[in-house]
């Protein structure tokens, strides 16, 4: 194809340059006149017209990039037409007849689009937390963690904060009233905190919260549940309430999105299956289907 490229450069590149402005206008305001205008290239009885380049160049493309895009498009068009011509000349008739396969593909597309429309109209997409929890309890042994995770609360204070003692007490407490006091104090004095009931992180992410570089399952088992560290500026307090090592069953929060997708997929399959069964039953009852 090097010879062709030379010919293309000599004979077409000048015209391509003159057409770039026109093509850019097409890209911004398509006219829809495919197959019209001057002929750029001919391959046997196939022609590439100016209007076939319509919409090829996105708005804002530089002249150099526009020229490259046009040149590649023309080159690929010529290569394809030459290869198609060669294939048509040499393939036996039985390998050139695609009518059955085309019809089967068309039928599959029609069915796919109908089922997609049906799912969009009738699929129940409301999934309650109770439904997620029920699915999790039935299938929890099929889930497995790929890394160690921690459930914790944490807060960061200025190292000279007079509230440090109260924070330490409230953070280590299970008393609901003291938890409420902790939330109030945190919003007033802490520079950063998270007191959510189900806040899980990967163990490696602990170093993003505190200066602590490592925490292991052994630490947790030996009841090292409250950790306090300081640097020149801040005091970091972490209360760890749960630890799940890799290969164990993850908490529902870690697999909730996966569960919701599984539930939706199951509902979709059931909807399609029921539709097909109903369609078959109705056709049999109205004598549209006979099984001999």
Question: With a threshold of 0.85, does the pTM exceed it?
Answer: no
Whether residue 261 is found in the same domain as residue 136: yes
Domain co-membership, 152 together with 237? yes
**DSSP H helical ranges for 143-251:** 164-171, 176-189, 217-221
Residue 229 sits in the same domain as residue 262: no
| Residues 235 and 258 grouped into a single domain | no
How many domains is the chain built from? 3
Decide which of 90, 112, 134 is a domain's last residue.
90
Per-residue pLDDT averaged across 174-193, rounded? Answer: 79
Q: Based on the fold, state whether residues 15 and 156 are members of the same structural domain.
A: no
Q: What is the pLDDT of residues 212-238, one digit of tens each?
A: 878 888 888 888 888 888 888 898 988
Give the pLDDT of residue 4. 47
274 and 196 in a common domain: no
pLDDT per residue as tens digits for the range 112-156: 999 999 999 999 999 999 999 999 999 999 999 999 999 998 889
pLDDT range class, residue 19, cuts 50, 70, 90: low
133 and 263 in a single domain? The answer is yes
Q: Which domain holds residue 111?
A: 99-143+250-292
What is the structure's pLDDT at 78?
A: 92
């Amino acid at each position: 194809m090097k010879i062709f490229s030379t010919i293309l450069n000599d004979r077409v590149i000048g015209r391509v340059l003159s057409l770039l402005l026109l093509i850019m206008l097409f890209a911004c305001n398509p006219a829809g006149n495919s197959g019209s205008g001057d002929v750029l290239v001919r391959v046997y009885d196939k022609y590439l017209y100016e209007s076939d380049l319509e919409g090829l160049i996105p708005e804002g493309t530089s002249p150099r990039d526009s020229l490259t895009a046009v040149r590649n498009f023309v080159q690929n068009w010529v290569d394809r037409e030459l290869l198609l011509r060669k294939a048509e000349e040499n393939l036996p008739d039985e390998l050139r007849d695609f009518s059955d396969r085309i019809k089967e593909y068309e039928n599959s597309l029609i069915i796919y689009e109908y089922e997609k429309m049906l799912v969009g109209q009738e699929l129940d997409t409301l999934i309650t937390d109770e439904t997620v929890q029920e699915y999790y309890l039935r299938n929890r042994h099929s889930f497995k963690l790929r890394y160690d995770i921690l459930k914790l609360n944490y807060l960061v204070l200025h190292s000279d904060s007079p509230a440090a003692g109260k924070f330490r007490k409230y953070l280590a407490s299970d008393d609901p009233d003291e938890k409420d006091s902790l939330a109030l104090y945190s919003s007033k004095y802490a520079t950063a905190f998270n007191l959510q009931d189900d806040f899980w992180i990967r163990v490696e992410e602990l170093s993003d919260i505190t200066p602590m570089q490592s925490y292991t399952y052994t630490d947790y088992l030996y009841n090292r549940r409250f950790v306090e560290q300081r640097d020149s500026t801040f005091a970091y307090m972490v209360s760890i309430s749960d630890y799940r090592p890799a290969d164990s069953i993850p908490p529902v929060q870690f697999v909730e999105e996966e569960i919701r997708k599984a539930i939706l997929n199951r509902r979709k399959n059931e909807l399609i299956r029921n539709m097909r069964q109903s369609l078959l039953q109705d056709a049999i009852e109205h004598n549209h289907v006979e099984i001999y």
